[in-house]
């Protein structure tokens, strides 16, 4: 009895860990960008304070307005980012790069405008550049994203290179003042031409600042990359440990399931037993969807000449369903040995035993469809609810379909099913064929999600009914089923039993 289709791969570790790592990385970046947005409010507040202090100390009002306008642009943008991040993270990647660009552009604008209004190009080359750089690094490092920091560094150097080009011609006046100061500051032991000392010291200082910035930036990038690599290595270690543990567990479970499968195969009726039955030619086959099937069938000759037959289907498949199948077989044999001649009484006893074992001891909710048959002198007596019974009538060359819905109900579902069990008689003519099956046969699916269906099963039975043996008929029916599904995975056990009256 099938349930939801099983997952094709029991464990997909690589995909699982990739998804988990991506999700962890995304959440980390999302939290970092949210924090960077909050930090930007703090940073903008200080810029407002600095601009106000400049105004109070006598700086031009127009300069204050320009600074305030730049701050308001970034503040408005910051509100948009913060609101968007609170609602969703759909634009996270855009915000990471756009925020870095606007942060650098704002600071470049403020620095450049200050240098222009104060007629002091050295502001571009000295302290403000270091100040802007470390503010940038602080904001970019909060994001902890290598690509964002590299992008920010590129923007920083491009914008400051542009500032350098713009303000470089004005450095000549600055150099002239330095030349004048050289005469005052130069050491007496230098030669007369030693005025180069201060002039060359300033570019050297700028070079050292740039070198320090590059080294610091490199160390920050190295730390971030190393952290990411360490995180990845830790994740790989966890993945490999989990994988090894799962492989070992799979080996253990595989050995247990293999033992259970062998036990299950041992209790199914053997071909030698079926051949000894004179009245009927019987063949049966069960293909499991997993190592252990939940389908049940049995053929038990009784000492009074009656042939008892059972077929059922436990919900789901796997080890637990195989255990229920074994309990069903044991319970059926037990009722026959107790001299119980009524199929109705047998079903009542089987239901009582299974309900107690499944619900009380196994703490499970499995149940099964189960039909029992008793054959004697050309007549089948049947009781219990299972799939339809197919009987190919040799006289008409047609298949009779008998519904078993009103023959009983699911076994093991409730404590008592007495009132639902009804016995019915079915006559089997000479060379008539009875086919019993589980729903795995009719519900086998092809690549288009089409099921084999009862109609195709009937057609297969009628097409192969003329084959000389029931073994050949079953082989042909299975060939039709597997040909229909064309290599698709089995999601349920397939059991087919064929019985043909010989005498």
Tokens of 399: 């298949």
Per DSSP, the three-state class of 496 is strand
Q: Tell whether the torsion through CA atoms of 218, 220, 223 and 226 is positive or negative.
A: negative
Listed range (109-113, 124-128, 386-390) with the worst mean pLDDT: 124-128
Q: Tens digits of per-residue pLDDT, 374-403?
A: 999 999 999 999 999 999 999 999 999 999
CB-count burial class (<10 Å; 0-12, 13-18, 19+) for 112: buried
Residue bearing tokens 């204050």? 64
Residue 401 main-chain phi, psi, to 5 deg: -110, 120
Find the mean pLDDT for residues 259-282. 84
Whole-number Å distance between alpha carbons of 93 and 91: 6
Element (H, E) at 426: strand 423-427
Q: Tens digits of per-residue pLDDT, 296-308?
A: 899 999 888 899 9
Per DSSP, the three-state class of 372 is strand
By C-alpha distance, which of 447, 459, 438, 458 is closest to 487?
Answer: 447
Please name each of the domains of the chain with its CATH number: 13-242 (no CATH), 271-501 (3.60.40.10)
Element (H, E) at 209: helix 196-267
Q: Tens digits of per-residue pLDDT, 344-369?
A: 999 999 999 999 999 888 888 899 99
Find the mean pLDDT for residues 279-285. 95
Cα Rg of the chain (Å, integer)? 43
- Backbone conformation region of residue 316, classed left if phi is above 0, alpha if psi is from -120 to 50, else beta: left
Residue 460 main-chain phi, psi, to 5 deg: -65, -45
Neighbour tally for 136: CB within 10 Å: 22
Residue 127 main-chain phi, psi, to 5 deg: -55, -45
Q: Tell me what percent of the residues of the chain surpass a pLDDT of 90.
A: 34
Q: Tens digits of per-residue pLDDT, 21-44?
A: 666 667 666 776 677 677 767 767
Q: Is the pLDDT of residue 255 over 70?
A: yes
Q: Tens digits of per-residue pLDDT, 463-473?
A: 999 999 999 99
Q: Could you tell me which residue, 391 or 47, shows the higher pLDDT? A: 391
Whole-number Å distance between alpha carbons of 337 and 17: 56
Find the mean pLDDT for residues 260-280. 84
């Amino acid at each position: 009895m099938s349930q939801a289709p099983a997952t094709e791969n029991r464990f997909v570790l690589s995909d699982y860990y990739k998804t988990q790592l991506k999700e962890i990385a995304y959440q980390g970046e999302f939290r970092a960008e949210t924090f960077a947005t909050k930090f930007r409010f703090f940073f903008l507040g200080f810029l407002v304070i600095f601009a106000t202090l400049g105004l109070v100390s006598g700086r031009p009002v127009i300069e204050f307005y320009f600074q305030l306008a730049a701050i308001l642009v970034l503040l408005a943008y910051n509100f948009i980012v913060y609101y968007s991040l609170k609602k969703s993270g759909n634009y996270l990647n855009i915000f990471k790069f756009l925020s870095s660009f606007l942060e650098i552009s704002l600071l470049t604008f403020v620095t450049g405008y200050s240098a222009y209004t104060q007629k002091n190009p050295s502001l571009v080359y000295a302290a403000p550049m270091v100040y802007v750089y470390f503010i940038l690094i602080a904001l970019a490092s909060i994001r902890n994203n290598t690509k964002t920091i590299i992008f920010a560094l590129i923007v920083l150097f491009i914008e400051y290179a542009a500032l350098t080009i713009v303000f470089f011609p004005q450095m000549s006046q600055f150099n002239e003042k330095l030349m004048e100061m050289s005469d005052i500051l130069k050491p007496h032991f230098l030669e007369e031409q030693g005025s180069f000392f201060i002039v060359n010291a300033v570019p050297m200082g700028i070079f050292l600042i740039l070198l320090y910035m590059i080294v610091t930036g490199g160390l920050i990038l190295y730390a971030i990359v190393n952290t990411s690599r360490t995180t990845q290595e830790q994740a790989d270690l966890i993945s490999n440990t989990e994988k090894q543990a799962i492989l070992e567990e799979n080996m253990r479970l595989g050995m247990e399931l293999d033992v259970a499968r062998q036990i299950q195969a041992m209790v199914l009726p053997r071909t030698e037993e079926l051949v000894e039955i004179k009245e009927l030619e019987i063949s049966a086959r069960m293909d499991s969807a997993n190592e252990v099937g939940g389908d049940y069938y049995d053929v038990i000759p009784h000492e009074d000449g009656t042939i008892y037959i059972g077929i059922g289907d436990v919900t789901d498949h796997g080890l637990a369903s195989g255990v229920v199948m074994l309990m069903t077989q044991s319970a059926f044999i037990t009722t026959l040995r107790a001299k119980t001649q009524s199929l109705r009484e047998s079903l009542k006893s089987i239901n009582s035993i299974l309900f107690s074992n499944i619900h009380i001891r196994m703490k499970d909710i499995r149940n099964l469809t189960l039909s029992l048959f008793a054959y004697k002198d050309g007549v089948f007596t049947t009781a219990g609810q299972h799939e339809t019974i197919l009987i190919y009538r040799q006289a008409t060359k047609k298949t009779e379909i008998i519904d078993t819905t009103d023959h009983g109900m699911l076994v093991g579902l409730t404590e008592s099913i007495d009132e639902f069990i009804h016995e019915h008689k079915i006559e089997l003519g000479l060379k008539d064929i009875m086919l019993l099956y589980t729903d795995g046969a009719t519900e086998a699916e092809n690549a288009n999600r089409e099921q084999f269906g009862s109609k195709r099963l009937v057609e297969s039975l009628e097409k192969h009914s003329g084959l000389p043996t029931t073994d050949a008929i079953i082989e042909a029916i299975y060939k039709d089923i597997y040909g229909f599904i064309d290599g698709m995975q089995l999601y349920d056990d397939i059991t087919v039993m064929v019985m043909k009256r010989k005498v």
